A and B are shown apart, each in its own frame.
Chain A
C-alpha cells in the first residue's frame, strides 16, 4: 500500500484516508469517503538498442555475439578469474550461459558467427530500465580462449537516435593455455574441441598476447599467419532506437 500511495493519492483505503489525504496536502475533509479506483497501469517504457559488431581481423571469425543488459555485476574483470559462463564462451564460442546469467535482465544473441570483414547487428530491448549497462561478448574462434567485447558500458546518457562506438581489444580468458594445438581450437582452422572444464593457464582475464602460429616458429600450432591479429579486433556501434 505504501508504495502505491506515494504514486497516487486517489488510490487509498478508507481507513487510511485521513492520514493519506493530509499527507498529500489535498483536501482534509475527513467526512469524505474516497472512491477506490485504481489508476490505469502506466504504459511500459521500452528502451531498445541496436548493437553492431564489425570483425576487424584477418582470419578470426567471431562466435555468435552475446548482447546483454544488466544493472549489476560484470561479464569479466581484468586480473580476476573468469566465470564458468565466460570460460564456456571464450573456449568454445557457446554464449548460452552468458545469456542466462543471473544478473542479466535482457539478452539477445547473433544467429551465426561473424566472419572477418563482416558485421552483425543485434537488437536488445528492456522495459522500464533507463540506466542498464550493456555488455557484449564473442570468441575469436581460431584461438584457445581469446574473446572480445565490452563490459558494463553505462547507457543512461544515450538519447533516442544517438550512437556511440568504440574499438574493442582482444582478451584472454586465462582458462586454457595458448597451446594452439589442433585438438584445442574449435574454429574452422582446426575443428578441435572448444570448452574444456580443466583450467591449465594463469586463471585470470588479461589482454591477449596474440597467436604465435607455426609460421612464426611454433611448429605444433595448427594456426598460420592468416590467424594473427592485433588490437583492435572489433568495432562496436551502439544506437539507441527507442
Chain B
C-alpha cells in the first residue's frame, strides 16, 4: 500500500508538491518507562529553517533547551522565520508513557515539522524530530523519534540542579528516583556535534556510586517517542 501511495504521489507531483497551508493534528507519546520530556516545542517551518541537524554543532538556543529545558530561545528563532509553533503543549513535563496533543495551522511555506524537548534525567539529551516533510495528502502518519545528545556537556550523570548552558550536571530527576553524591561518570564531553545519545549508564546506589541516575530505571533504548500526525 505504501508503495502504491508513493507512486500516486509522484504521478500527482506537479499538482501536490506545490506548497499549501494545512491543518495538522500532532499526537506525541513518551514511549519510555522512566524518562520525562520537558516542555516540547512543536513547530512547522520552511525547508530553509531548522532547529537542529544531526552531525552539526548545536546552536546556543538548542543547548539551552537540551541542558536546561529552556525552549524560549528556539521559540524566538521559530517566530523570527514565521514558523507556526506550539510551545509546551503538555503544559509542563510529559511523563513516561504519557501523551499530549496539539494542532498547527501551517502557512503555505511551512512544510517541515520539527519537535524538541529535553530528556530528564540526562545532562544534554533531547527527543528530536528534524524537518519532517509534512505530506500534502490527507491522512494519518506515524513517526518514531530517537533520543539525541546535544554534544554540549559531559554526561557526568550528576543530579546537581545544573541546567544553565555550560553548567555541568543534571537539573532534576522528576520521578523523584534519582540518587545523590555520585562521583561522576565522566567529565569529558565526547562528540561536540549532535549525535544519537549513547544512553544513561547509571548505577544502583542511591547514595554515592559513579552516577546519580538508576541503571535499572533511567536507561532507554530508541525509539523514545511516537508521533502521530494527522493531515486534515
Instruction: Give me the interface of A with B, judged by CB distance under 8 Å.
Output: 78-80, 157, 169-170, 172, 174, 177-180, 202, 204-210, 212, 216-220, 230-231
Contacts and interface: CB of A to CB of B under 8 A. Distances in A.
Contacts of B216: 177-180, 212, 218
Given A78-B31, A179-B216, A217-B215, A231 B221 contact: yes
A231 B6 CA distance: 27
B188 interface: no
Nearest to A177: B216
Nearest to B1: A157
A174 B34 CA distance: 11
6 contacts: A78-B226, A79-B97, A172-B33, A205-B97, A212-B215, A212-B219
Contact of A209 (B34, B97, B226): B34
B196 to A, nearest CB: 11
B204 interface: yes
Nearest to B202: A212
Contact of B97 (A78, A180, A230): A78
A172 B33 CA distance: 8
Contact of B98 (A79, A169, A177): A79
Nearest to A219: B204
A207 B218 CA distance: 12
Given A177-B216, A208-B33, 13 more contacts: A79-B29, A169-B221, A172-B33, A174-B33, A204-B96, A207-B223, A207-B224, A208-B221, A209-B33, A216-B201, A217-B215, A218-B216, A231-B222
A199 B202 CA distance: 23
Contacts of B34: 202, 209
B99 A79 contact: yes
Nearest to B199: A210
Contacts of A216: 201, 215
Interface of B: 1, 29, 31-34, 96-99, 199, 201-204, 210, 215-224, 226
Nearest to B223: A207
Contact of B203 (A172, A178, A217, A230): A217
Contact of B96 (A206, A208, A220, A231): A206
Contacts of B201: 216-217
A213 B217 CA distance: 13
B232 to A, nearest CB: 22
B219 to A, nearest CB: 4
Nearest to A202: B33
Contacts of A205: 97
A204 B97 contact: yes
Contact of B31 (A157, A206, A218): A206
Contacts of A174: 33, 97
Nearest to A209: B219
A237 to B, nearest CB: 17
Contacts of B218: 209
In this complex, the member of B202, B215, B219 whose beta carbon has the largest number of chain A beta carbons within 10 angstroms is B215
Nearest to A207: B31
Contacts of B203: 217-218
In this complex, the member of B32, B98, B201 whose beta carbon has the largest number of chain A beta carbons within 10 angstroms is B32
Contacts of B1: 157
B124 to A, nearest CB: 19
A209 B29 contact: no
A168 B32 CA distance: 16
In this complex, the member of A178, A202, A209, A230 whose beta carbon has the largest number of chain B beta carbons within 10 angstroms is A209
Contact of B33 (A179, A180, A207): A207
A80 B98 CA distance: 9
Contacts of B204: 217-220
Given A79-B97, A207-B221, A210-B221, A218 B215 contact: yes
B145 to A, nearest CB: 12
Contacts of A206: 31-33, 96-97
A207 B215 contact: no
Contacts of A179: 216
A177 B222 CA distance: 20
A177 B203 CA distance: 15
A200 to B, nearest CB: 12
B221 A230 contact: yes
